[in-house]
Structure 1
Amino acid sequence: MTTRTPPDMIRQLAFDLPVRPARGRAAFFVAPANDLAVAQIEAWRDWPGGKLALIGPEASGKTHLAHVWAELTGAPVVQAAALDGTDLPALAASGAVAVENGDRIGGDGPAEAALFHLHNLMQAGGGALLLTARTPPRDWAIALPDLASRMQATATVHLSPPDDALLAAVLVKLFADRQLAVKPELIGYLVERMERSFAAAAETVAAIDREALATGHRPGIRLARAVLDKTGPEGR
C-alpha cells in the first residue's frame, strides 16, 4: 500500500523545479531514497581512500549527482569506456574526476587498463575519484585482477527506488525538461498508477510526449490513461 502524494506537495514541486534541463544541486530533489547519497556527495573530502562508487538503477539520478559533484569540485565527467586514449595524467591533474558507467567496461582490456592507471594516478596525487554504476564493484566483470581488487575496496552508496514524493518530483522535472507544462493532477494520477521506477518515469513521460505530438492534444489524464493502457501496468 502506498501513500497518496498530497496535491499541495505536487503543486509546490511544480513551482520549484526549473523549466529547462538542469544538472545543478538546486534541481535535485532530496528524499529518503537518495538523502544518504546526496550527503556522501557533499562530504566528498571525507571519502575513504578519496573514492566513492555511486550505485543505482537506470535513470535514478547518478549522472545528475555526478554533475552536482563536478560543480562542487571542478571535476571533469568522463565515460569509463572512453578513458582509453585520454590524456590520463592531465585528467588526474584536475584533482577530482567523475567516471560514469564503471560497470560497463568489464572485458574491455584497454578501458580496464586506463581506469586502473587513472585510479593509481588519483591515489598517488591525493585526488578524489567518483564512479557511477548500476551494480556494486564486486559485480563488475573486470578481468584485470589489480583493478578488480581496487574497485571492490571502494566505498559505495546506493540510490534507492523512489517513494511517492520523489517519483512525483522526477515526473515534474522530466516534463519540464521537455518544456511541457502539466497540471498537478496529472502527476498525482501517474504516481498512483505507473511502475515505481526512475526508468519507467522516463519512459512514461517520453511516451506521453510522443502521444501528445501525434494527436495534437495537451498532456493530461485522458492522454496519460491511453499511454498507460498501451505500456502498462494497468494500475495498483
Structure 2
Amino acid sequence: MIGQLSFDLPVRPALGREAFFVSPANAMAVVMIENWDQWAGRKLALIGPSGAGKTHLAHVWAAASGARIVSARDLPDADIPDLARGPIAVEDIPDIAGDRTAEEALFHLHNLVLAEGHHLLVTADRPVLTWGLTLPDLLSRMQGTQSVTLQQPDDQLLTAVVAKMFGDRQLLPSPETIAYMVTHMDRSFDVARALVADIDRAALELKRPVTRTLAVEVLKGNAPLGRLDIPDT
C-alpha cells in the first residue's frame, strides 16, 4: 500500500533560451521567435499542442524584446492602453472564445499595440479558424496574422522534454530511464508531463530513487511494485 507523501519539492520550470531544445519539430518556431523584428505586420500566432513549448518560447521572446506576458482570460480586467505601451504576448486565445468582453479587449489591444509600433505575440493550441472567436473584426485580425506551428515531438525532442521536466522537479534520472520512457510512452507532451509527475510522486511515496525499474512499474500501472526483475540503472 502506498502511503502519504513525505515531502514534495516545488516545480520550477526553466524558461530561458538555453533550456529550450531545438529539433525538427520546433525549429521553425524558434527561428521565428529569434527573428521577431521581421514578423509580417509585427505580429505572430504561435500554435501548438499543450506542453509543446509555447509558454517557454513566449518567455524567450519576452526576454529578447522586453515584452510583457498576459493570459487572454485576464484581459477584461487589464489596463489595455498600459499593456499597449510595449510589445505584448497574449497566451491561450481560444480560452476567451465567446466571451464578448474579453474578445473586445483583445481587439483593442491588438489595434493599439500595432498603432504604437510594437509587436504582438499570441498563442493557441490549434489553428485560428478553430478558435471559436465570435467578434468578426477580431477574427479577421487573427486570420490575417502570420502563424507558426510547434509539432508533436520527435524522439530527440521528447527525450529533451522529459529530461527538462525531471530537471524542473530537481530530479536527474539516468539516460537509460528516459530512453525507456520515450520508447514505451504515448508520444504526447501531455502524456510526458503526467508520466513524469506520476514517477516523481511514486518515488516520493515509496522513498525510492527515480530509476528505470520505477519507470517500468509506473508505466505498467498495476504491476506489483518491487517485484519486477529489472535491475536499477
TM-score (normalizing by structure 2): 0.88
Structure 1 residues 10-159: aligned runs within 5 Å: 21-94=13-86, 96-159=87-150
Distance in 1 separating the partners of 2:91 and 2:179 = 32
Unpaired runs of at least 5, structure 2 = 1-10, 223-233
Letter in structure 1 aligned against 2:23: A
User: In the TM superposition, what is the alpha-carbon distance from 1:22 to its structure 2 partner?
Assistant: 1.3
For 1:221, the aligned partner's letter is R
The 3-state SS of whatever aligns with 1:161 is coil
Task: Quote how far apart the aligned CAs of 1:125 are.
Answer: 1.2
Query: Aligned match of 2:153 in 148, 162, 175?
Result: 162
In 2, the alpha carbon distance for the partners of 1:139 and 1:114 equals: 20
Shift of 1:21: 3.0
After superposition, give the CA deviation of every residue in 1:75-124 in whole Å (9 maximum; x if it has no partner): 00000110112111111102x10000011110111110100000010121
Aligned to 2:200: 209
Distance in 2, matches of 1:192 and 1:111, equals: 42
SS in 2 for 1:141: coil
What whole-Å deviation, never above 9, does each CA across 1:195-221 have from its counterpart, x for those lacking one?
Answer: 111111111100000111111111111
- Within 1, Cα distance between the matches of 2:135 and 2:50? 26
Report runs of 4+ in structure 1 exceeding 3 Å deviation. none
Counterpart of 2:122 in 1: which secondary structure? strand
- Structure with max Cα Rg: 2
CA deviation vs aligned residue, 1:146-183 (integer Å, no higher than 9, x gap): 00111111111000111111111011110011011211
Q: How many residues align?
A: 212
User: What SS class does the counterpart of residue 70 from structure 2 fall into?
Assistant: strand
- The alignment's TM-score, normalised by the length of structure 1, stands at 0.87
Cα distance in 1 between the residues matched to 2:19 and 2:117: 30
Which residue in the other structure is 1:175 paired with? Answer: 166
Q: Which amino acid aligns with 2:75?
A: L
Relative distance call for 1:20 and 1:81 in structure 2 (3 A) is: closer
Q: Which runs of 5+ in 1 are unaligned?
A: 1-18, 232-236
> 1:20 and 1:55 mapped to 2: Cα distance?
24
Code of the residue aligned with 2:56 in structure 1: it is H
Alpha-carbon distance, 1:20 to partner: 5.9
